[in-house]
Copies of this chain bind each other. A is one copy, B any other.
Amino acid sequence: MSSPIRIGVIGAGRIGAVHARTVVRRIPEAEIRAIADPSKDTAKKLGAELGVPRVLPDYRELLSDREIDAVLICSSTDTHAQVITEAAKAGKGIFCEKPLDLRLERVDEVLAAVKQARVKLQVGFNRRFDPDFARLRRLVADGAAGVPHLLRITSRDPGPPPLAYVKVSGGMFLDMTIHDFDMARFMMGCEVEEVFVAAAVLVDPAIGQAGDVDTAIVTLRFANGALGAIDNSRRAAYGYDQRVEILGSAGMLANANHTPDTVSRADGDGVHAPLPLNFFMQRYTESYEAEMRAFIDCLLRDQPPPVTGEDGRRATLLGYAALKSLKENRPVRPEEFLASKKRKR
């Protein structure tokens, strides 16, 4: 075996801890050399759990360490662009949580920096690595449903995030639907050419007062001619609802929600089955591990990452198109949007 990939973790919060544990416990081909977090306590606690003695308050120290091959950027969203840019300059392999940035121009700059530095960048669209969605994609690609005609994505959270978060999140389309935009592109294997949004504030008026929506149907028109619909809600009383359905010329593919157990109870009132898993980190446990493995693999084999910076940019672009469609109540082509952005410059 070649020597293991040496990893620095930037950001030791919830998702940083998930990735760090995966590397330590599940991926013998990688090892964690240092953990950086502005909160030294947070970094220390994670370091202690995982047997990583080196913890740093400043990620720059980690970037300047020549014995570190790659970084996992798990810091807050507003730092992503800056950290990626510096990591690229430092020649590190980069895994970064989504989104790259909420501003499309900034995303373009970041991708340019990554390109110039010729480093690898994988974006954290973990759902692609979920066993259900990975298999669905393989089946679509293998033609198991024939030529795709219709895609339906049901993506509903068990409850809205805190209002404070809503205000800085970039809004539902850039925070939540962005995963579904990526899923749509992933499933179809082609770009979205037009977006139409019907959205409303039905879950909580406070979300509307914060300038956001909480319920939406997003219609997509794909480059391959197929049509798609995403339906989003910030609140599904029965739990986290994550379903994808593809109708093609030869049939239909679909997944179902995951439950904590399979126990049903039948009494005089009905047959009662368990609710979907309520929390995204439980629902997507396996996907986090698989995406990290994929990242390490692409470094070891010097292959392109399975989810690229361009994937991150495209999903953000669709979020922008959705916002414009919402504002102007008309279908919006991302292309048109890019054009208007250029004009603005």
Chain A residues 206-223 with CB under 8 Å of chain B are 215-217, 219-221
A247 within 8 A of B: yes
Contact A227 B217 (CB under 8 A): yes
Q: How far is the CA of A231 from the CA of B135 in the complex (A)?
A: 24
Chain B residue with the shortest CB-CB distance to A238: B266
> How far in angstroms is the closest Cβ of chain B from A143?
11
Tell whether, in the assembled complex, residue B263 and residue A255 are in contact, meaning their CB atoms are under 8 Å apart: yes
- Kindly state whether residue A64 has any CB partner on chain B within 8 Å: no
From B131, B233, B247, B250, give the contact of A247 (CB < 8 A): B233
Nearest-CB distance from A48 to chain B (Å)? 10
How many identical subunits does the complex contain?
4
Within 8 A of B (CB), among A168-206: 194, 196, 198-200, 202-203
Interchain nearest-CB distance for A201 vs B (Å): 9
Among candidates B131, B216, B252, residue contacting A236 with C-beta atoms closer than 8 Å: B252
Within the assembled complex, what's the spacing in Å between the Cα atoms of A251 and B276? 12
Size class of the contact patch on chain A: 35 or more
- Contact partner of A229 (CB less than 8 A), chosen from B221, B231, B253, B254, is B231
B contact residues around A262 at 8 Å (CB): 132, 255-258
Which of A86-94, A112-120, A267-275, A291-299 is near enough to bind chain B? A267-275
B198 touches A221 (CB 8 A): yes
Cα A49 to Cα B249 in complex, Å, equals 41
In Å, the complex CA distance between A272 and B331 comes to: 36
* Stretch among A67-75, A148-156, A307-315 lining the B interface: A148-156
Assembly CA distance A274 to B260 (angstroms): 18
A147 CB within 8 Å of chain B? yes
Task: State whether A271 touches B238 (Cβ < 8 A).
Answer: yes
Which residues from chain B contact A329 at a C-beta distance below 8 Å?
A: 331
A264 and B264 CA atoms in complex are apart in Å by 13
A25 at the interface (CB under 8 A from B): yes
Q: State whether the Cβ of A51 lies closer than 8 Å to any Cβ in chain B.
A: yes
21 pairs, A vs B, C-beta closer than 8 Å: A132-B262, A147-B202, A149-B202, A150-B217, A196-B198, A198-B220, A198-B331, A200-B226, A217-B229, A235-B249, A238-B252, A238-B266, A250-B268, A251-B267, A252-B267, A253-B265, A254-B266, A255-B261, A255-B262, A268-B275, A271-B273
Q: A149-B215, A150-B231, A253-B266 are in contact. List 15 more A-B contacts (CB 8 A).
A: A25-B25, A51-B51, A147-B202, A152-B152, A152-B231, A237-B248, A238-B252, A250-B268, A253-B264, A254-B266, A255-B263, A268-B275, A271-B272, A271-B275, A329-B331
Question: Which 4 pairs show the lowest CB-CB distances between chains A and B?
Answer: A251-B267, A238-B266, A256-B262, A131-B261
